Amino acid sequence: MQALYAQLLVGLINGSFYALLSLGLAVIFGMLNIINFAHGALYMMGAFCAYFLLNLLGINYWWALLIAPIAVGIFGMILERTLLQWLAGLDHLYGLLLTFGLALIIQGVFQNYFGSSGLPYSIPDVLKGGMNLGFMYLPVYRGWVVVFSLIVCLATWFLIERTRLGAYLRAATENPTLVRAFGINVPRMITLTYGLGVGLAALAGVLSAPINQVRPLMGENVIIVVFAVVVIGGMGSIMGSIITGFALGVIEGLTKYFYPEASNTVVFVLMVLVLLVKPTGLTGRAA
Amino acid sequence: MRNEMVVFGIMAALLAIVPWTGIYPFFVMQALCFALLACAFNLLIGYGGLLSFGHAMFLGTAGYCSAHALKVWGLPPELGIIVGTAAAAVLAAVTGYVSIRRQGIYFAMITLALSQLLYFIYLQAPFTHGEDGIQGIPQGYLFGVLNLANATILYYVILAGFLFGFLVIFRTINSPFGEVLKSIRENEQRAISLGYKTDQYKLLAFILSGTLAGLAGALKVFVAQNASLTDVEVAMSGQIVLMTLVGGLGTVFGPVVGAFIIIAMQQYLASAGQWVNVIQGVIFVACVLTFRRGIVGEFAHYFRLSL
């Protein structure tokens, strides 16, 4: 039973990353109509940012949680202003191709300087150790990742679904021209939205740095799983992305316990099943 | 159509004299395999509007199956090619059935995820030998007479395979079937309202494209004499997209030009390590932002030709 709970926890942690990443993808897709292939590379940049902050500047984990998403978010906003904005009005596929190219560039540059091996990032002192919950041993840091991700996801949901800014955002997703006519600066909102989505990816990167090590290709496979998550959940609903992300992480964790050979593939197999049964995705409307 | 035939004649003649020019034949053979692969990919994106981000799965599957048939079962080359191509066709039928259920951007993500699924299967399946791949594949005698270990003979066999695949695609896009495909690309809803069962057309195009990509994979086995995981990786799918984009999406000859350029670049930059990826990324970005018609597309546009 211990092993089952341990794998469930690993599943929840991976689910946290899937949720944060697919949430960012959904937010970006809603505003920019772009599937951000560079999301995995930006997640990796978040982890590297934390690593640099600690090892070059001596800035600790807690500040990295704040600074890394902002820094990578600003980097993302520069990308949006200089490159992505020219794609407005073109076929969605060009956005995918452009961001795929960006991912190649970013990952290639990091690989060139840091190779393919992992760099260690130690867990902050406060979150070291573990708690005995009676039925299982809970490493504090892992519990923290799950709880904190959940809070960030819900905060993002609240921001978009329950605040005035979020209302503008949703309105601009539906009809940008009309929202512009009301005097709202839609291009700036698009830039900020991209920054927000990218910042969420970078935050996931910082959270994963002590668990998965900091590697140039750490986002390469994750992003493809997240694509499958997005296909399963559909991108129409923020809460849908969050729930699907966590749920698939848990399912993956359970698979690791019951049938480890399939743990790499279970999400993709589920995607196939969902497509066969409900082609529009679990929460999505027809594309 | 007429100037396309003229260009085709010139291309075939140029490729036919390669063994006498002193150009390294293995480079051209490799490029021809990728050219056929890119042409097959282009049939979907350029004429059907479907961006497959997982075409490496057909290349890799056909490669593994051909290699296994040749080395373990000891089949002659012609049957080895058929086994690999047929395996890709079956795979295309299954994956096509799943992926055509969604359009546009979702289609790209689904094909990508499916190819990653196959990657993990091949990573674990015993017959692929995991990270080592299948190596030392015998080339044998095609139809019992043509010695494929001879570079010149092998070159002409590969060239014949490429020209065959190219003509099949050329014929397809100029047929009534191809016209319906183009109408689906332009406006699927209207094609449906005109009574076409667009799902069937898309599935058929997907199977044809996957099968020809499989033919390219089976031919490549004789050139490289190995089958490995690199052929199933996402990076490979990305390269196929890049070749077609550089040459020109939706042009007949663009994928061929693009494949030669990208393969030549990789040979030339082989020592540059990870910078190759960075350069390919830069080409992607530059093409999408400034050069969406590709080389052949820009050329055709400027001279008002259809190529």
Give the amino acid at A44.
Answer: M
C-alpha distances in Å from residue B293, one per residue of A21, A94, B49, B288, B301: 32, 12, 14, 9, 8
The alpha-helical segments, DSSP class H, found in chain A are: 2-32, 39-57, 61-82, 92-114, 140-162, 164-174, 176-181, 186-212, 220-233, 238-258, 266-277
- Does the pLDDT value for residue B207 go beyond 50? yes
Mapping DSSP to helix (H, G, I), strand (E, B) and coil, where does residue B142 land? strand
C-alpha distances in Å from residue B143, one per residue of A248, B76, B79, B80: 51, 8, 9, 11
- Does the pLDDT value for residue A284 go beyond 70? no
Note down the domain range covering B227: 22-232
Tell me whether residue A125 is in a domain. yes
Note down the domain range covering A129: 2-225
d(CA B168, CA B212): 9
Q: Do A112 and B103 touch (CB under 8 A)?
A: no
Tell me whether residue B185 is in a domain. yes
Determine contact: B292 vs chain A, CB below 8 A.
Answer: yes
Please tell me the predicted confidence (pLDDT) of residue A178.
Answer: 92
- Does the pLDDT value for residue A123 go beyond 50? yes
B256-292 pLDDT per residue, tens: 999 999 999 988 888 877 788 899 999 999 999 998 9
Extract the tokens encoding B254. Answer: 């663009």
Give the amino acid at A205.
Answer: G
Tell me whether residue A79 is in a domain. yes
Distance from CA of B65 to the nearest CA of A (A): 21
Q: Do B105 and A221 touch (CB under 8 A)?
A: no
Tell me whether residue A287 is in a domain. no
Portion 201-230 of B in contact with A at CB < 8 A: none
A43-54 pLDDT per residue, tens: 999 999 999 999
d(CA A214, CA A45): 9
Q: How many domains does chain B have?
A: 1
Tell me whether residue B256 is in a domain. no
Please give the distance of CA B271 from its chain centroid, rounded to a whole number: 25
CB-count burial class (<10 Å; 0-12, 13-18, 19+) for A90: middle
C-alpha distances in Å from residue A3, one per residue of A10, A138, A259, B144: 10, 12, 13, 58
Tell me whether residue A16 is in a domain. yes
Query: Best mutation site among B284, B292, B293 for testing chain A: the one with the most A CBs within 10 Å?
Result: B284
Please give the distance of CA B44 from its chain centroid, rounded to a whole number: 11
Beta-carbon neighbour count of residue B20 at 10 Å? 8
Tell me whether residue A280 is in a domain. no
Mapping DSSP to helix (H, G, I), strand (E, B) and coil, where does residue B246 land? helix
Tell me whether residue B288 is in a domain. no
Backbone CA torsion sign across B191, B193, B196, B199: positive
Report the relative pairing of strands A137-139 and A130-132 from DSSP bridges. Answer: antiparallel
Extract the tokens encoding A69. Answer: 């998403």
Q: Do A97 and B289 touch (CB under 8 A)?
A: no
Determine contact: B103 vs chain A, CB below 8 A.
Answer: yes
Tell me whether residue B265 is in a domain. no
Chain B residues within 8 A of A227 when measuring between CB atoms: 109, 112-113
d(CA A34, CA B105): 9
Extract the tokens encoding B134. Answer: 């299948």
Give the amino acid at B294.
Answer: G
A139-193 pLDDT per residue, tens: 889 999 999 999 999 999 999 989 998 899 888 888 888 998 998 899 999 999 9
Tell me whether residue A78 is in a domain. yes
Q: Do B110 and A231 touch (CB under 8 A)?
A: yes
Backbone φ and ψ for A214, nearest 5 degrees, come out as: -100, 110
Determine contact: B285 vs chain A, CB below 8 A.
Answer: yes
Could you tell me the pLDDT band of residue A286, with boundaries at 50, 70 and 90?
Answer: very low
Extract the tokens encoding A270. Answer: 């589920």
Q: Do A104 and B117 touch (CB under 8 A)?
A: no
Check if the beta carbon of residue A144 is closer than 8 Å to that of residue A211.
Answer: no
d(CA A223, CA A213): 17
Tell me whether residue A69 is in a domain. yes
Extract the tokens encoding B286. Answer: 């530059």
Tell me whether residue B246 is in a domain. no
Q: Which of B117, B277, B292 sits opposite A268 (nearest CB)?
A: B117
Verdict on whether the full-model pTM lies above 0.90: yes
Q: Do B278 and A112 touch (CB under 8 A)?
A: yes
Q: Do A101 and B282 touch (CB under 8 A)?
A: yes
Lowest mean pLDDT among B91-95, B252-256, B268-272, B298-302: B268-272
Check if the beta carbon of residue B59 is closer than 8 Å to that of residue B217.
Answer: yes
B216-262 pLDDT per residue, tens: 999 999 999 889 999 999 999 999 999 999 999 999 999 999 999 99
Q: What is the share, in percent, of chain B residues with pLDDT greater than 70?
A: 100
Tell me whether residue B249 is in a domain. no
For residues B131-156, give the mean pLDDT.
Answer: 86
Tell me whether residue B107 is in a domain. yes
Tell me whether residue A211 is in a domain. yes
Q: How many domains does chain A have?
A: 1
Q: Pseudo-torsion of CA B251, B116, A91, B184, nearest 10°? A: 60
d(CA B61, CA B210): 10
Tell me whether residue B90 is in a domain. yes
